[in-house]
Each structure stands twice: as C-alpha cells, then as structure tokens.
C-alpha cells in the first residue's frame, strides 16, 4: 500500500535577529509542499522551529542586558517575532520546536551520551579555526583565503579540551550516499559536497565547547556544552518523540521525506547529519533539498549589511498570497534568485492581475451580465473549438504533480499559467460579447463557453491552493465551487463543476499595482523602518576628564535677549543674531542653526551666550561669542534646541 504520510521540515531559525524575506522563502516553499501533500491525501507532519542556543545568542543577550532565554523569547514569541511572521505568511506548520524546550534538551543529552557510549564521541583537544558569527569549526584546509568558507569573515585560532565525533569513520558511506542515491538534490550540490569536503579528507568534528554556557550541558562532564549543530540537527527527530516522551510520532513519520535547507547549510545536512544517524543506526531521511538564496543586488541579504527585505511591509502592501506566489513563481527553487521590488510588482501585474485576475473577473462578470449569475442547462458544445482548452486543463493535474514531486514550484506554476493564458485566449477566440448579440440563436453556445471558462478556472484554482490558500478560497466562493469541488480528485478530469453553475461576482482578487507609486512608497517604508530600528534617543557620552573650578569660572555665561534675527545671505546654515547683552551696545553672534529654527520665531527670546570667546569671522561677518544649545540624536537624526531661559531674567545677568 502506498505510504500516505509525508514529513517535511524547514531549517530551524536562529532567533538572533528579525527574520527577513529570505527566511520566509524556504518556509513558504515548505508550506506550499505541505499543503500540496495534504491536498493529495497525505497525512502531513510539517515541522519548523527555532535554533536557540550558541555563543552568538549569549553575546547578544549580554549586550542587551537580558538573559539569553529572555532574548530568544522576545524574538520567537514577541511582537513581529518568528511566530507572528509565520502567522502572517499563513504557514500551516503542524509542530514548532524550540531547542530550549525541556524535552529537546534532555533528549540531546541522551543522544550525546549514546554516541559517547558507542565510542563515536571521544574526548580530545580542539585546535583549529572557529568562525564566531557562523558558530562553525573549520580545519585549515577548509578555509578559503584563510577566511570562513561560508561567510568570508575572519576566523580565530581555537584550542580547548573538547569532545569529538568520529566523522572520518563515515566518509566512505557518506560519499556513497551522496554519489549513488538521490539523497541530496539538486544534483549540482553533490559535487560541491564531495569535492570540497569529502575528497580533501573528512576530519573528526568537534562537538562540545567550554568557552560559553548557553547550550545543552553535557550532563556527564560539567563545563561542556553540546555543539550547537548537533543540538539543532536532532530537532528533526526529537520533535517526533525521539529520546523523549513528549511526542509519540517517530514510528509514524521517521524517516523524514524531505528536509528543505538553504545551500550554505547543505554541508551539515548531507554529511554530519547522516553520519550521526549512521552512528546511532537510525534510518536516514529520504531527501535533503538544498535551495538557493534570495539575493539583493547580487549579494546575500544580511542584517549586518542592512539590506534585508521586510516581509511585513510587502505583505501589507500587496497581500500575503501575492507575496507567497511571487517567491515560488519567480525563482527556480534550486538556484539563487535576485529579489527586487520591480520584479515583485511585475509578477503581480502580469500573472495575477492580468492573466488570472482578468480571467476570473471577465468570466464571472459575463455569467452575471448574460445569464443573471447562473448558467442554463441548455448548452452547446463545439468540440473543435473547445478541445484545446479542455485537453490542456484536464491533463494539467498530471503535469503539475510531476513538477511538485520534484520540488519544482516554478515549473508547476508555469503549467497552471499556461492553462490560464489558454483560457484567456479562448475568450478572445469565442468572443462571448459577439455571441451575446443574438441570445436566441447563440445562448446555448455562450453558456457552454462560459462553463468551460469556469471549469478551467476551477481546475487552476484547486492546484493553486497550496500557493495562495486565502485567495483561492475567495475564488471558489465566486465561481460557486463547494468543498467537493476543491479536492485533488475533483481535478483529475474535466467537468466537475455543475453545468448550471452559479457565480457571485465578488471583489477583484488581484488588483493591478501602480508600479511607480508602489515603488516610491516601498522606498519610504524601508527608510522609515531603517530609522525606526535606530535608537530612539542617543546622547554623547559624558566626558570623564575633570575640569578644575577656576578654569570653568573663566567662561562668562550671560542671559541675552534676541532683538533681531535673520538668515545670513548665501548660507543655508547661519543665523545672524542681534542681541541685547545688558551692556547697552548690541552684540552680534552668528550661529549655525538655520536648519532648526526660523529666524522670526526667536525674536524676543531670552537665550544663554558665552560672551568672552575671541571674536570669529564667518561669511565675512564677525561673531562675538556663542549661543548655548542642547544636542542629541533621535533615530539617527541630529536634533538641536537652543537653551532658552525665563524671560524674567534681565539681559546681561551672569549665569553661575
Ligand atoms: N539554525 C540554522 C539551521 C539549523 S537546521 C538544523 C540556520 N539558521 S538561519 O536562521 O541562519 O537560516 C535558516 C535558513 O534560512 C537557512 O536555510 C538559510 O539558507 C535560509 N536563508 C537565510 N537567508 C536567506 C536568503 N537570503 N535566501 C534564502 N534562504 C536564506 O542556518
């Protein structure tokens, strides 16, 4: 009997910063796959979660003045955190694991001990290179130009007593697994793994650390914490109940059908992970699929480069479904893709607004206009004219399935959109508006044309559900397709929809985007988000070098009244003040604050000036003294306010 279960995982995310569209890419792909498998009648386990241990998190928490647990809690469960993001993106995970969950921590301790007991983990001294941001150990030979091969950053020398996993022992079996099975896809990643990591010689892997504490403690050797990747990789099994009583789904779902992972972590999933499973004599996952990255301007998005794209902004602007669709329609899953707002808008306008949106709105509008919303049973086929659309739509499921089974989302969507385009062409070929001119003669034919359009739309709608669940729900409402017409079986062949189908013209599912306006708004939103991420208020650190009292007393501070104030010609910075300083003679001071005040708003104010500074010339004018002001930075922008004092203080009063 066919196994109708499907277990799919995403990587568990580091909650060290807010997630961006690149993270959403893999999770949305896994969600589309999980929904597709549910559609095809599988019992699905879709797992995602967060990878919460490690030195990075410990350091960041310390910098933020909170505990590591508080730090990860904020990013996982806090506002706009990981859980919120998956809710926003409509990610239908069945289980969410946090590596700080008690059951997982205890399971990792048992797993570590099992490999220690079977001799695959042993104690030694670690000498090598460590990339702190990636939390990865490297041997000299793996470095690229002396730098971390993953991120290109500097690595550090590291030496400490540590536990090692006998990775070298499994090199032959891993190479065989990679080269002679479909374990790792796409195929191109196999060569990369074999040539870069296995052929140069797999060395044993350091699997414990003593230089920080935020990790799973090795319970039989205090001071050691388990290497974060061991802790992380086993999430795929502990979340099913491996070495714990929290869950009991191991038998049912292990081995996993597929792990979706980004290309930079393929190494961990296709070498270290199967080797550890071999050590414990456990079944291997059926597949690791290493997808490409979403790039921005040709480079990887990263928080430190400040070039991350915020899914919240895009989802709010274009709708979650349009965003989900774009991610999987535009980029081949196995390769890198260049993200741009232009491309996003173009995809929405071409595929969703023009092709699909028009098909739905034209068809439902015509059923309304010509038949009052429901088609008559008296319909006239025209096999010659109808065949191309009927054949294409009725065989769509098979072509779509073939692509989905290979994780080729882009191609699966391409197959659907060929039918959508064919249906639009069918409208033009049959010109319903011309048929409608003589309803008596052409009514039955017109009804059939519209029926065929509704049925083609329904078939496409069902197959689009994994990608755009909410919009397809609305679509089914508009074309009157009830629950039994949304199923996988219902699109096996043509003709599921009742001939006397009734439509309800509803909202426009995919409105056209005004590209110029949207691009400008996105730019403004990105700017605002960047500013919002900056500290609210920043002030200069206080000086620690003491100043002696006599020196301080040499500064002569006086209250001064503004008699006149004007902009200095040809300068956009300087204001020229004419001040009453209590001496009877006017005092002129120039101050570079024109961007903060309009001259007229300062006239009559009582300010503070230091009056015994040597005179200075600016723009040909003499300035005698300086006005005191307070400066700070607000969301990255410098702010300045003049010191204004009680107007009851007379001009010339000495401040001390
Ligand atoms: N914690 C590890 C995974 C452990 S799995 C046992 C990790 N976390 S991560 O948060 O840094 O990355 C999670 C996933 O997001 C990775 O698969 C990574 O490739 C993916 N992406 C991060 N930025 C990305 C893009 N710009 N584009 C596509 N995927 C990207 O690694």
Of all residues in the chain, the percent with pLDDT exceeding 90 is 84
Cα–ligand 1 centroid distance for 68 (angstroms): 20
| Ligand 1 touching residue 112 (CB < 6 A) | no
Distance (Å, whole) CA 38 – CA 24: 21
| Ligand 1 touching residue 300 (CB < 6 A) | yes
Residue 597 per-residue DSSP state: -
Rounded to an integer, the average pLDDT of 622-641 is: 93
Q: What is the pLDDT of residues 505-515, one digit of tens each?
A: 888 999 999 99
Q: Taking 80 as the threshold, does the pLDDT of residue 139 lie above it? A: no
Q: Six-digit token pair at 235? A: 């999430």
Ranges 144-148, 179-183, 278-282, 488-492: which has the least confidence? 144-148
Q: Ligand 1 pocket test: which of 8, 10, 13, 271 has the largest number of ligand atoms within 8 Å of its C-beta?
A: 13
Ranges 68-72, 303-307, 327-331, 382-386: which has the least confidence? 303-307
Neighbours of 79 (CB within 10 A): 6
| Ligand 1 touching residue 262 (CB < 6 A) | yes
Position 18 scores a pLDDT of 78
Residue 395 per-residue DSSP state: T
Ranges 144-153, 181-190, 447-456: which has the least confidence? 144-153
Mutual orientation of helices 469-479 and 320-330 as an angle, nearest 10°?
110
Residue 144 per-residue DSSP state: B
Task: Supply the DSSP string of 301-359, one letter for each residue.
Answer: --GGGT----HHHHHHHH-HHHHHHHHHHHS-TTS-EEE-HHHHHHHIIIIIIIIIIHH
User: Which residues touch 268 (CB under 8 Å, ≥6 apart)?
Assistant: 229, 233
Distance (Å, whole) CA 433 – CA 495: 24
| Ligand 1 touching residue 624 (CB < 6 A) | no
| Ligand 1 touching residue 301 (CB < 6 A) | yes
| Ligand 1 touching residue 31 (CB < 6 A) | no
Rounded to an integer, the average pLDDT of 237-266 is: 98
Q: Six-digit token pair at 67? A: 């505990």
Position 296 scores a pLDDT of 86
Q: Taking 80 as the threshold, does the pLDDT of residue 136 lie above it? A: no
Distance (Å, whole) CA 504 – CA 365: 9
Q: Six-digit token pair at 613? A: 């500074």
pLDDT confidence bin for 103, thresholds 50/70/90: very high
Cα–ligand 1 centroid distance for 305 (angstroms): 16
Cα–ligand 1 centroid distance for 264 (angstroms): 8
pLDDT confidence bin for 298, thresholds 50/70/90: confident
Q: What is the pLDDT of residues 25-75, one digit of tens each?
A: 999 999 999 999 999 999 999 999 999 999 889 989 999 999 999 999 999
Q: Ligand 1 pocket test: which of 15, 17, 19, 22 has the largest number of ligand atoms within 8 Å of its C-beta?
A: 22
Q: Six-digit token pair at 196? A: 């870069």
Cα–ligand 1 centroid distance for 204 (angstroms): 24
* Chain mean position to CA 60: 20
Distance (Å, whole) CA 436 – CA 423: 19
| Ligand 1 touching residue 264 (CB < 6 A) | yes
Q: Six-digit token pair at 3? A: 């196994």
Q: Ligand 1 pocket test: which of 20, 21, 26, 309 has the largest number of ligand atoms within 8 Å of its C-beta?
A: 26
Q: To 5 degrees, how large is the angle CA 488–CA 489–CA 493?
A: 110
Q: Ligand 1 pocket test: which of 150, 229, 236, 265 has the largest number of ligand atoms within 8 Å of its C-beta?
A: 265
Q: Residue 630 pairs with which residues in a beta bridge?
A: 641
| Ligand 1 touching residue 417 (CB < 6 A) | no
Position 1 scores a pLDDT of 45
Q: What is the pLDDT of residues 451-506, one digit of tens each?
A: 999 999 999 999 999 999 999 999 999 999 999 999 999 999 999 999 998 999 88
Spatial contact of 207 and 191, defined as CB atoms under 8 Å apart: no
Q: Taking 70 as the threshold, does the pLDDT of residue 302 lie above it? A: no
Look-up of token digits 């319909």:
379
Q: What is the pLDDT of residues 148-172, one digit of tens each?
A: 887 889 998 888 789 999 999 999 9
Q: What is the pLDDT of residues 517-569, one digit of tens each?
A: 999 998 888 888 778 778 888 899 899 899 999 999 999 999 999 999 999 99
Point out the ligand 1 atom lying closest to the alpha carbon of residue 233: 6
Position 304 scores a pLDDT of 57
Q: What is the pLDDT of residues 401-426, one digit of tens each?
A: 999 999 999 999 999 999 999 999 99
Distance (Å, whole) CA 197 – CA 648: 79
Spatial contact of 451 and 497, defined as CB atoms under 8 Å apart: yes
Look-up of token digits 């004092």:
645
Position 97 scores a pLDDT of 98
Cα–ligand 1 centroid distance for 415 (angstroms): 29
Write the residue with the smallest CA distance to atom 12 of ligand 1. Answer: 13
Q: Ligand 1 pocket test: which of 76, 262, 335 has the largest number of ligand atoms within 8 Å of its C-beta?
A: 262
What is the pLDDT of the chain when averaged over all its residues? 94
Of all residues in the chain, the percent with pLDDT exceeding 70 is 98
Write the residue with the smallest CA distance to atom 5 of ligand 1. Answer: 11
């Amino acid at each position: 009997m066919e196994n109708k279960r499907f277990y799919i995982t995403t990587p568990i995310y580091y909650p060290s910063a807010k997630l961006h569209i690149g993270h959403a890419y893999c999770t949305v792909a896994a969600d589309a796959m999980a929904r597709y498998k549910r559609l095809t009648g599988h019992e699905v386990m879709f797992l995602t979660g967060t990878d919460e241990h490690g030195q990075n998190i410990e350091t960041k928490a310390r910098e933020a003045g909170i505990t590591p647990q508080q730090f990860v809690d904020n990013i996982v469960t806090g506002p706009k955190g990981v859980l919120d993001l998956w809710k926003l993106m409509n990610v239908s995970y069945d289980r969410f694991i946090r590596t700080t969950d008690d059951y997982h921590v205890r399971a990792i301790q048992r797993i570590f001990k099992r490999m220690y007991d079977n001799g695959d983990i042993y104690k030694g001294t670690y000498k090598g290179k460590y990339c702190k941001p990636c939390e990865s150990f490297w041997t000299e030979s793996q470095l690229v130009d002396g730098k971390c091969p993953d991120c290109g950053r500097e690595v550090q020398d590291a030496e400490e007593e540590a536990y090692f996993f006998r990775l070298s022992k499994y090199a032959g079996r891993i190479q065989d697994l990679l080269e002679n099975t479909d374990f790792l896809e796409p195929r191109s990643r196999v060569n990369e793994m074999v040539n870069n990591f296995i052929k140069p010689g797999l060395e044993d892997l350091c699997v414990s650390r003593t230089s920080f504490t935020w990790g799973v403690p090795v319970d039989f050797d205090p001071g050691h914490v388990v290497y974060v990747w061991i802790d992380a990789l086993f999430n795929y099994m502990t979340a099913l109940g491996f070495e714990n009583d929290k869950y009991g789904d191991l038998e049912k779902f292990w081995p996993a059908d597929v792990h979706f992972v980004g290309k930079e972590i393929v190494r961990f999933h296709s070498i270290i992970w199967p080797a550890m499973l071999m050590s414990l004599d456990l079944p291997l996952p059926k597949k690791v699929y290493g997808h490409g990255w979403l790039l921005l301007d040709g480079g990887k998005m990263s928080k430190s480069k400040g070039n991350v794209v915020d899914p919240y902004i895009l989802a709010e602007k274009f709708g979650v479904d349009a965003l989900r669709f774009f991610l999987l329609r535009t980029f081949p899953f196995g390769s890198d893709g260049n993200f741009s707002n232009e491309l996003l808008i173009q995809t929405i306008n071409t595929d969703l607004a023009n092709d699909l949106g028009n098909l739905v709105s034209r068809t439902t509008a015509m059923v309304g206009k010509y038949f009052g919303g429901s088609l008559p049973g008296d319909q006239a086929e025209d096999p010659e004219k109808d065949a191309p659309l009927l054949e294409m739509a009725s065989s769509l499921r098979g072509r779509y399935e073939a692509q989905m089974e290979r994780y080729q989302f882009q191609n699966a969507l391409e197959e659907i959109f060929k039918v959508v385009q064919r249906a639009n062409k069918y409208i033009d070929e049959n010109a319903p508006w011309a048929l409608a001119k003589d309803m008596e003669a052409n009514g039955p034919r017109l009804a059939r044309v519209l029926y065929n359009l509704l049925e083609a739309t329904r078939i496409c709608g069902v197959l689009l559900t994994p990608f755009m669940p909410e919009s397809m729900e609305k679509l089914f409402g508009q074309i009157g397709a009830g629950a039994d017409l949304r199923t996988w079986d219902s699109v096996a062949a043509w003709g599921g929809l009742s001939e006397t189908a009734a439509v309800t013209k509803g909202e426009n599912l995919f409105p056209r985007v005004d590209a110029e306006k949207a691009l400008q708004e996105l730019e403004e939103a990105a700017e605002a988000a960047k500013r919002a991420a900056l500290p609210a208020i920043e002030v200069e650190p206080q000086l620690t070098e003491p100043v002696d009292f006599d020196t301080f007393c040499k500064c002569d501070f006086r209250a001064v009244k503004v008699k006149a104030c004007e902009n200095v010609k040809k300068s956009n910075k300087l204001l020229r003040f004419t001040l009453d300083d209590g001496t009877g003679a006017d005092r002129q001071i120039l101050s570079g604050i024109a961007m903060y005040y309009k001259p007229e708003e300062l006239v009559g104010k009582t300010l503070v000036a230091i009056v015994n500074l040597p005179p200075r010339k600016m723009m040909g004018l003499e300035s005698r003294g300086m006005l005191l002001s307070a400066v700070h930075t607000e969301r990255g922008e410098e702010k300045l306010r003049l010191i204004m004092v009680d107007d009851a203080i007379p001009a010339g009063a000495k401040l001390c």
